[in-house]
Structure 1
């Protein structure tokens, strides 16, 4: 590969000469230090071979001494292409004009990206930037990023930070919005159930309980309401109440931030299958690496085999690309592929081992769905039988836990299940 690259940069030609004087011609050229390669048969009784461009003139002396004339058939390499371009001045001028225009266009801003905003509208930020001098087609050297950042911060509300960066023909405006502090309890908040369960313990610190021990609740049901109803009136007071003004003196409903602890029995269920015979692959420790260079759609192998010598293998590829220049992507990639040989064997286990393995996997998956401080009360592992004997073991695991099931949710009058109209 390196030899071909040097010959391309220096230039080389393909010549033809009679077959009967090939041996004398090659021997005399070799003694004079002239390198010849690619000797192949040509049309008729002539042979073709390659020689460097700078060795063509010394080769003419060799031809005179051997009385053997040669003909130049083809010319290859950068010097010959450069000579052709000198004769095509219009093409060279057009290419230079294209490069100049491309460089001039790359000195202006054509793309403006605004990122990081959710509540603030893009058009509002873009309007402030236009007034500050940032718009499509503006020269890059005329931009003052500090001035743009200051203008956006002063004229757009709800922003905590603004950053403006220029990347080629693209200007990226990154903003960070202000984050309001979390709710401090001033607004009424209910405690609702985040999952189904059977109430085992309930401790109310503030609020009105809507459930009690032994009740079955579903996800989203209000457990402790933020609305505290007024105290109930005794029957004697109701019988003695003969003045309508007493209804007006009844205390109103109070709203608080509900707090408390509600523990419930929660059930989890999972199903798993394990095969008694399983095909397993494992690395043997042998591996081989191949290095390729990809130019456009053509792939050239620089190092390593053309075919993988392993029957079973795992492939790991790493691609490195040439860095982007301005907005031009150079279509050259260097690919490193590592082939790791794999050994395949059949792993056989008994039904008891498969049952235990399926139970362990089911428990591992259920623990991922449980909170960290959960208390497991009971586990039940049951094998699912089928009508016919199979090489698969099916199990169902049921786990009963005791856990905290409350989650805070803003209070909705009339919609939280409290039955209280504020």
Structure 2
């Protein structure tokens, strides 16, 4: 249909030549239809030809050493040219937006922030070892698994925070730092590194400053740099160990009855472009979820909001077994942070009902360990 309209369209041209009539004869000889022929002057003639034959006319005129100039087009030709330009622009814009959307589903950069002891290169190598590198789909990256695996891989890492922002995976690493040395109260002493109740004292050199049953605070003197009875003392370098009961409190909240909101696996999303704080939506979420989690992924111009449906799940846990399992879990968590020689000898459990079927479990663990810190 469009081709038929192009064939019906006319274009008005002016041809300049020493013998314009000869050019008209050449056009007629080549089967090119001309109409509305007007002689402008002795060397110029104006006429109309079909739009589809303009290229042939241009070729024949230049071959005859003439000059050609377009001076008018029919309305249908102008309209079709404009439509062609707009269609091309729309197709190009559509391809650009589609490409932008597809590329935004991938991670193209990894931004790593560390402190003093670890370099970004070392962390990047650890990420590569667990399969995290640029070019991965966002949906294939579980940031919580990445955090846990990094913490397990290196003893220098205390905790990790990994988040996806736009097309960048941002990883913040907090390193383990040795605590600063305490100021010495006196030269050559043994101090308590934490609070506790003294159970046993073993001195290799120096006199004990505490006895079993004493309550000491962090920084208190445990072994003096003096050895011998009164009147026969001599200065020595103190050393030894002091076994004491120390106390750690841990707690957690649990829901054992009622309804608990959990993700169902269903999700929806808004996709929009942001130009100077104006949002142009490419996709709008239906979002008929009663309860949901919302996560925003800001990538500058191209942005996304994901809605995760949450639904109530009935919970009815056995109170006693849940408390027992929670205490065991808290104990395992504490054991990870204790020194090898430390031993958990007792625990005191208290349970508090909060609301809506939730309880708060507090456990005070009694840990027997050496609290002596030898200062050299």
Q: What is the TM-score normalised by the length of structure 2?
A: 0.44
User: Which structure shows the bigger proportion of residues in strand conformation?
Assistant: 2
Output the TM-score relative to the length of structure 1.
0.40
